[in-house]
Amino acid sequence: RSYYWNGKVVIPLEHTRAVERKNGSTSYWEIPGARSSLRLNESPSLVFVVGLPAGVDPASYSLFPLDTVEGGRRTRSQPGRRGGLATWPIDVVKKTDASIATYVFAVRDLPVGEYSFSPSSSNEGFCFAVDPAPPGQ
């Protein structure tokens, strides 16, 4: 499971499954719904907590920016890289070592938009959105 840490409590990310689609020579992953149910305020740093079974490499997780198209959310192509998907950098820190290892994924300067964490070995997505910070913050 994947969670957002607001400094006080953990909040589960929207859990969904993506479907691979093709549009001509371009392939992408599509997630149902135009917007994530989990809305976060824009912040210089967002912290997520991810529990992974022993042996699962946290580097297999990527953070994908999503575009809203025709009522769904889609991964976007990486500019200048044919067939590659755009991702956002993540700082990963291991916190515990047990049957389920806990990792902190810190994300800096994430722009307003829709996002999904997803492991390379699965079509599972853990989605959230970043909204503009309220005035005065």
The model's pLDDT over 38-72, given as tens digits with 9 standing for 90+, comes to 999 999 999 999 988 878 889 999 999 999 998 99
In this prediction, residue 81 carries a pLDDT of: 64
The whole-number average pLDDT for the span 13-42 is: 91
Strands 39-41 and 124-131: parallel
The whole-number average pLDDT for the span 1-6 is: 89
Q: CA-CA distance, 133 to 111, in Å (whole number)?
A: 11
Q: CA-CA distance, 70 to 127, in Å (whole number)?
A: 18
Confidence band for 79, pLDDT divided at 50, 70 and 90: confident
> What pTM, to 2 d.p., does this model score?
0.87
CB 130 within 8 A of CB 88: no
